[in-house]
Copies of this chain bind each other. A is one copy, B any other.
Amino acid sequence: MKTRRHAKILELIKEYDIDTQDELLRFLRESGFDVTQATVSRDIKELRLVKTLSRTGKYKYSTGGDTGSNMSSKFYSLFADSVVSVEAAQNIVVVKSMTGMAQAVCAAMDAAYPQHFVGTLAGEYTFFIV
Protein backbone atom coordinates (compact mmCIF):
# COMPACT_ATOMS: atom_id res chain seq x y z
CA MET A 1 0.00 0.00 0.00
CA LYS A 2 2.83 2.30 0.73
CA THR A 3 4.17 2.45 -2.79
CA ARG A 4 0.73 3.10 -4.10
CA ARG A 5 0.31 5.93 -1.66
CA HIS A 6 3.67 7.32 -2.61
CA ALA A 7 2.67 7.41 -6.22
CA LYS A 8 -0.52 9.19 -5.32
CA ILE A 9 1.37 11.74 -3.31
CA LEU A 10 3.60 12.52 -6.24
CA GLU A 11 0.55 12.90 -8.40
CA LEU A 12 -1.12 15.18 -5.93
CA ILE A 13 1.75 17.53 -5.32
CA LYS A 14 2.26 17.80 -9.01
CA GLU A 15 -1.33 18.75 -9.64
CA TYR A 16 -2.05 20.95 -6.66
CA ASP A 17 -0.21 23.51 -4.64
CA ILE A 18 -0.09 21.73 -1.35
CA ASP A 19 1.59 23.57 1.45
CA THR A 20 0.99 21.48 4.51
CA GLN A 21 1.00 17.82 5.35
CA ASP A 22 -2.51 18.18 6.62
CA GLU A 23 -3.65 19.42 3.26
CA LEU A 24 -1.91 16.56 1.56
CA LEU A 25 -3.54 14.29 4.07
CA ARG A 26 -6.96 15.57 3.09
CA PHE A 27 -6.32 14.86 -0.56
CA LEU A 28 -5.05 11.42 0.27
CA ARG A 29 -8.13 10.64 2.22
CA GLU A 30 -10.32 11.77 -0.63
CA SER A 31 -8.37 9.31 -2.71
CA GLY A 32 -9.09 6.54 -0.29
CA PHE A 33 -5.83 6.47 1.61
CA ASP A 34 -6.85 6.58 5.20
CA VAL A 35 -3.68 7.50 7.00
CA THR A 36 -2.49 10.08 9.48
CA GLN A 37 -0.10 12.98 9.51
CA ALA A 38 2.62 10.83 10.99
CA THR A 39 2.58 8.63 7.95
CA VAL A 40 2.54 11.57 5.61
CA SER A 41 5.58 12.93 7.34
CA ARG A 42 7.36 9.63 6.82
CA ASP A 43 6.28 9.45 3.22
CA ILE A 44 7.62 12.89 2.57
CA LYS A 45 10.90 11.90 4.04
CA GLU A 46 11.11 8.73 1.98
CA LEU A 47 10.17 10.52 -1.20
CA ARG A 48 12.63 13.27 -0.36
CA LEU A 49 10.08 15.92 -0.97
CA VAL A 50 10.82 19.45 0.02
CA LYS A 51 8.84 22.46 0.98
CA THR A 52 9.79 25.19 -1.44
CA LEU A 53 8.34 28.45 -2.51
CA SER A 54 5.94 28.43 -5.38
CA ARG A 55 5.94 31.30 -7.79
CA THR A 56 3.28 33.04 -5.77
CA GLY A 57 5.51 33.10 -2.73
CA LYS A 58 3.58 30.43 -0.91
CA TYR A 59 5.13 27.31 0.44
CA LYS A 60 4.48 24.18 -1.53
CA TYR A 61 5.65 20.60 -1.40
CA SER A 62 7.54 19.46 -4.41
CA THR A 63 10.15 17.09 -5.60
CA GLY A 64 13.54 18.52 -5.00
CA GLY A 65 15.87 20.32 -7.27
CA ASP A 66 14.86 21.06 -10.79
CA THR A 67 12.30 23.75 -11.37
CA GLY A 68 10.87 21.94 -14.34
CA SER A 69 11.12 24.73 -16.84
CA ASN A 70 14.81 24.25 -16.58
CA MET A 71 14.56 20.55 -17.32
CA SER A 72 12.04 21.23 -19.97
CA SER A 73 14.22 23.49 -22.03
CA LYS A 74 17.18 21.25 -21.51
CA PHE A 75 15.39 18.26 -22.92
CA TYR A 76 13.64 20.23 -25.53
CA SER A 77 16.82 20.89 -27.38
CA LEU A 78 17.89 17.32 -26.88
CA PHE A 79 14.68 16.21 -28.43
CA ALA A 80 15.16 18.44 -31.42
CA ASP A 81 18.66 17.08 -31.91
CA SER A 82 18.17 13.39 -31.50
CA VAL A 83 14.92 12.55 -33.18
CA VAL A 84 15.29 10.95 -36.54
CA SER A 85 11.69 10.81 -37.54
CA VAL A 86 8.19 11.13 -36.24
CA GLU A 87 5.35 9.42 -37.98
CA ALA A 88 1.72 9.00 -37.19
CA ALA A 89 -0.64 6.38 -38.53
CA GLN A 90 -4.11 6.01 -37.14
CA ASN A 91 -3.73 6.26 -33.43
CA ILE A 92 -0.10 5.26 -33.40
CA VAL A 93 2.79 7.62 -33.18
CA VAL A 94 6.21 6.34 -33.95
CA VAL A 95 9.19 8.28 -32.84
CA LYS A 96 12.58 7.16 -33.96
CA SER A 97 15.60 8.52 -32.24
CA MET A 98 19.30 8.13 -32.70
CA THR A 99 20.99 5.28 -30.94
CA GLY A 100 21.43 5.85 -27.27
CA MET A 101 19.03 8.75 -27.22
CA ALA A 102 15.79 6.96 -26.57
CA GLN A 103 15.87 7.70 -22.88
CA ALA A 104 16.50 11.34 -23.39
CA VAL A 105 13.89 11.55 -26.09
CA CYS A 106 11.37 9.99 -23.81
CA ALA A 107 11.98 12.61 -21.18
CA ALA A 108 11.98 15.30 -23.82
CA MET A 109 8.60 14.26 -25.08
CA ASP A 110 7.27 14.51 -21.63
CA ALA A 111 8.78 17.91 -21.15
CA ALA A 112 7.85 19.33 -24.50
CA TYR A 113 4.50 17.75 -25.26
CA PRO A 114 3.06 16.41 -22.05
CA GLN A 115 -0.46 16.58 -23.38
CA HIS A 116 0.35 14.42 -26.39
CA PHE A 117 2.61 12.13 -24.56
CA VAL A 118 0.35 11.11 -21.81
CA GLY A 119 -2.50 13.36 -21.12
CA THR A 120 -5.05 13.31 -23.87
CA LEU A 121 -5.52 9.75 -25.00
CA ALA A 122 -7.96 7.36 -23.45
CA GLY A 123 -7.20 3.89 -22.21
CA GLU A 124 -3.92 2.22 -21.56
CA TYR A 125 -0.63 3.28 -22.92
CA THR A 126 1.88 0.86 -24.17
CA PHE A 127 5.54 1.24 -24.77
CA PHE A 128 7.22 -1.04 -27.20
CA ILE A 129 10.91 -0.99 -27.00
CA VAL A 130 12.37 -2.74 -30.00
A interface list, Cβ under 8 A from B: 3-4, 6-7, 10, 45, 47-48, 50-53, 59, 63-68, 70-71, 73-74, 77-78, 80-82, 84, 91-107, 109-110, 114, 117-119, 121-130
Contacts and interface: CB of A to CB of B under 8 A. Distances in A.
Contacts of A109: 127
Nearest to A90: B130
B63 A64 contact: no
Contact of A129 (B47, B71, B125): B125
Contact of A110 (B7, B99, B106, B119): B106
A122 B67 CA distance: 33
B103 A114 contact: yes
Closest 6 CB pairs of A and B: A65-B66, A102-B125, A50-B50, A103-B118, A64-B66, A7-B81
A102 B130 contact: no
A10 B127 contact: no
Given A10-B78, A127-B129, 19 more contacts: A7-B101, A10-B104, A48-B66, A50-B64, A51-B51, A52-B64, A66-B71, A93-B129, A94-B127, A96-B126, A97-B124, A99-B123, A101-B125, A107-B107, A107-B110, A109-B127, A121-B129, A126-B128, A127-B128
